Amino acid sequence: MSSLFDPRALLGSAVSITRTALSYAEWTEEQFLALARAGLDAIDPDSPAADDAPADKTVKAEPQRAALEPAPAQQLTERMNGLLDQALNQGTAASRLELFTRILGQLVADEARIVGALSDGTVSPLINVISRTSSRSPVLENAALIGRTANLALPEMVPAYVTNLLNLGLLEVGPEDPDLKVDYEVLAAETMVLKAIKSSSVGPVGPRVERRTLRLSSLGMDLWTTAMADGD
């Protein structure tokens, strides 16, 4: 009877059962982890397979996008053809209005005041300060007394204003007018002119000061007359 209830035999059986249970649990855990890893790999956006799919779509989409957008040369051709077609159907008056509208779009208020101040045929003195060094480069260009007489908001910007108006063809520069001697002296006393003369002087030798005149061009007069026609 004592052998049936041997504690060592019972302990051995318990250890054996425990080892079997642990082995089964470890196998089950390994199987579960393997299945979990397989599922994550299938949905992982960082996986190589996931990266390949969008790349393929992008490559396929690029030719379609390029096909829908006209080439730069084609855009120029379409623009030019549009302008040529417009010219065929546009009369002289309409063309002039389109030109004047484009020019006015490139002016600021002070520049419009200069055009207005010269619209009565007024001639304004203009001075250029030219360096006497080997470069003979202008130190100051298109300084004009019109900035004072037109009552501009930014009179110091007159050289830039006049340069822009000259480039647009609204003003023209003429030779010196001896009758404007006093006006030239007033202009020469302007701060911007004095600074230009001082900065470009080499010892007792000063720069060359050119005296010119500024007036409205025929294009500028035509624009002014057309723009102000409804205001008369």
pLDDT digits (tens, 9 = 90+) for 72-129: 888 888 888 887 877 777 788 888 899 999 999 999 999 999 999 999 999 999 999 9
Query: Residue 2 falls within a domain, yes or no?
Result: no
pLDDT digits (tens, 9 = 90+) for 7-31: 555 445 554 555 555 555 565 556 5
Which pLDDT value is given to residue 194?
94
User: 130 and 206 share a domain?
Assistant: yes
175: left (phi over 0), alpha (psi -120 to 50) or beta: beta
Query: Residue 81 falls within a domain, yes or no?
Result: no
Query: Residue 185 falls within a domain, yes or no?
Result: yes
Query: Residue 74 falls within a domain, yes or no?
Result: no
**End of a domain among 48, 68, 88?**
68
User: 131 and 201 share a domain?
Assistant: yes
In 3D space, the residue among 117, 97, 116, 93 whose CA is nearest the CA of residue 105 turns out to be 97
User: 14 and 63 share a domain?
Assistant: yes
Which pLDDT value is given to residue 63?
54
Computed on alpha carbons and rounded to an integer, the radius of gyration of the chain in Å comes to 44
- Confidence class of residue 66 from pLDDT cuts 50, 70 and 90? low
d(CA 155, CA 195) in angstroms, rounded, equals 15
Name the residue range of residue 46's domain.
7-68
Which pLDDT value is given to residue 136?
75
- Confidence class of residue 137 from pLDDT cuts 50, 70 and 90? confident
Query: Residue 86 falls within a domain, yes or no?
Result: no
User: 19 and 132 share a domain?
Assistant: no
State how many domains the chain has: 2
Which pLDDT value is given to residue 146?
94
- CATH of residue 194's domain is 3.30.110.190
Per the confidence metrics, is the pTM higher than 0.75?
no
d(CA 141, CA 193) in angstroms, rounded, equals 10
